[in-house]
């Protein structure tokens, strides 16, 4: 059963692990707190898993923030929800006693976008990120400080939802902020492929994750 603790605003699941790292699992539009648990366990078999359900509904489908149209984000809501997610991670770390300095986001599509927003707005919340098919959530001014923060991004060359320039722009922003960014390209669309997961798992096994 999903957990709704009184001091945590997201319905979520938490699975403890033997590794000091916790994966923050962030689903795509229409997903829920169960969707990425198998993926998280595959990417990091011994990590703890924290998987919240997005609190915004779009035609009954959970999301992490509102959008005005395809690829057009409600920036006011995005800012609010980004703050909300950052606070949730801190509250969950306190409740479940995991290391708040070793949290790696794993997000797909809408989940990748809110993870990127947390990196750009609250750079000390995440120690790293795996972003499957992200786009630029917003462009901060000034840029945050992400010295050495490892980020894996994957994208499809034929992704109609996320054109290549948007992926490349996000990589530029993260690198300009000091992040160590790896971009993996697939000859496909917006779907998550087996080879992307394999590439992310290999990257994660070698990534040097700094304490935030």
Tell me the H-state helices in the chain. Answer: 37-43, 75-96, 110-121, 164-176, 194-206
Q: How far is CA 50 from CA 56, 140, 141, 164, 195, in A?
A: 18, 27, 30, 30, 24
> What tens digit of pLDDT does each residue of 124-143 get?
999 999 999 999 999 999 99
Rg of the chain (C-alpha set):
15
Average pLDDT over every residue of 101-112: 97
Q: What is the pLDDT of residues 29-87, one digit of tens each?
A: 999 999 999 999 999 999 999 999 999 999 999 999 999 888 789 999 999 999 999 99
Catalytic residues, by residue number, are 109, 159, 190
The domain spans of the chain are 12-206
For the domain made up of 12-206, give the CATH fold.
Rossmann fold (3.40.50)
């Amino acid at each position: 059963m999903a957990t709704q603790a009184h001091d945590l605003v997201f319905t979520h699941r938490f699975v403890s692990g033997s590794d000091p790292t916790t994966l923050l699992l962030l689903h795509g539009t229409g997903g829920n707190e169960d969707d990425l648990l198998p993926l998280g366990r595959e990417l990091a078999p011994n990590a703890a898993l924290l998987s919240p359900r997005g609190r915004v509904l779009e035609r009954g489908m959970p999301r992490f923030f509102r959008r005005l149209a395809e690829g057009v984000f409600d920036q006011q809501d995005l800012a609010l929800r980004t703050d909300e997610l950052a606070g949730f991670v801190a509250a969950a770390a306190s409740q479940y006693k995991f290391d708040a300095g070793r949290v790696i986001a794993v997000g797909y599509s809408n989940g990748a976008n809110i993870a990127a927003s947390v990196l750009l707005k609250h750079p000390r919340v995440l120690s790293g990120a795996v972003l499957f098919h992200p786009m630029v959530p917003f462009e901060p001014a000034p840029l945050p400080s992400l010295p050495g923060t490892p980020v894996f991004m994957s994208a499809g060359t034929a992704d109609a939802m996320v054109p290549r320039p948007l992926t490349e722009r996000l990589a530029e922003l993260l690198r300009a902020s000091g992040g160590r960014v790896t971009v993996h390209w697939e000859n496909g669309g917006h779907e998550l492929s087996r080879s992307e997961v394999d590439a992310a798992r290999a990257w994660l096994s070698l990534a040097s994750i700094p304490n935030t």
